[in-house]
């Protein structure tokens, strides 16, 4: 994976002639590497990039972003630099809320994304899930077990557990500055969710529909909040099918 200018964007291949770029936005506590399987699933369809938030992985020495509006602004600046080709935004959980804000700004600037894929998230006009409120280490670990998104071996390793909880707590704290938003995009929105997600019901996932005047799609996969871990190929098919329907899944 190659570092990019400004340290915000990560690529999963050194060069690509794909006509479309899929920019992935991680969940709270997450990192760019989470989306490596999606890059593999879309290898013949699109170039997959991912945002690396400060304070984790190779940016661990940098301070966490403390305000959601600041995260939006800094992510937007990085995404703009990739807009020499058509863009698709793919955000999971917190990343979906971030993707909505980035898409809104891009539309206001006259460079709308081809689509927003909102995964495992309530829409921005709803309240945040209860688990994003400040919690003790024990409560955070219990929630991670319910969400089924962190390897138990990581949580049993003191140093790794400390890193995971530090990033997660920082992102949850930042999310408290997120404000409900009933804005409406013009680009299509595709909502994806797990059938047994304990924090995002299928009904919640469907409530992304009013957030666009464009096409809306809802795809439900078997699984919990991190259903993607078992369905990367299927998620890639959803993205590829959408691009094919728009006639954009071709090489440049």
Catalytically active residues are: 93, 225
Inter-residue contact 242 to 188 (CB < 8 Å): yes
Using CA atoms of 78, 82, 88, 94 in order, give the dihedral in degrees to the nearest 10.
Answer: -10
Query: What single DSSP character describes residue 204?
Result: H
Helix (H, G, I), strand (E, B) or coil at 217: strand
Q: How far is 35 from 23, CA to CA, in rounded Å?
A: 10
Return the axis-axis angle of helices 158-175 and 94-108, rounded to nearest 10°.
40
User: Which residue do the tokens 């400004």 mark?
Assistant: 6
Q: CA end-to-end span of the chain, whole Å?
A: 22
Helix (H, G, I), strand (E, B) or coil at 164: helix
Q: How far is 75 from 81, CA to CA, in rounded Å?
A: 10
């Amino acid at each position: 994976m190659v570092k990019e200018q400004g340290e915000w964007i990560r690529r999963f291949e050194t060069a690509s002639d794909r006509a479309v770029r899929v920019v992935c936005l991680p969940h709270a506590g997450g990192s760019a590497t989470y989306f490596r399987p999606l890059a593999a699933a879309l290898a013949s369809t699109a170039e997959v990039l991912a945002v690396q938030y400060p304070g984790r992985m190779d940016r661990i020495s940098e301070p966490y972003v403390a305000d959601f509006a600041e995260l939006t602004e800094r992510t937007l600046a990085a995404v703009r630099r990739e807009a020499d080709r058509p863009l698709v935004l793919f955000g999971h959980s917190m990343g979906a809320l971030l993707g909505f804000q980035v898409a809104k700004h891009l539309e206001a600037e006259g460079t709308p994304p081809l689509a927003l894929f909102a995964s495992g998230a309530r829409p921005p006009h709803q309240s945040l899930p209860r688990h994003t409120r400040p919690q003790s280490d024990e409560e955070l670990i219990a929630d991670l077990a319910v969400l089924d998104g962190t390897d138990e071996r990581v949580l049993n390793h003191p140093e790794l557990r400390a890193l995971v909880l530090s990033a997660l707590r920082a992102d949850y704290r930042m999310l408290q500055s997120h404000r409900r938003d009933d804005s409406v995009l013009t680009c299509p929105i595709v909502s994806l969710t797990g059938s047994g997600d304990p924090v995002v019901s299928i009904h919640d996932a469907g409530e992304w529909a009013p957030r666009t005047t464009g096409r809306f799609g809802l795809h439900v996969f078997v699984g919990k909040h991190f259903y993607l871990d078992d369905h990367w190929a299927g998620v890639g098919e959803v993205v590829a099918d959408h691009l094919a329907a728009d006639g954009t899944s071709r090489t440049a």
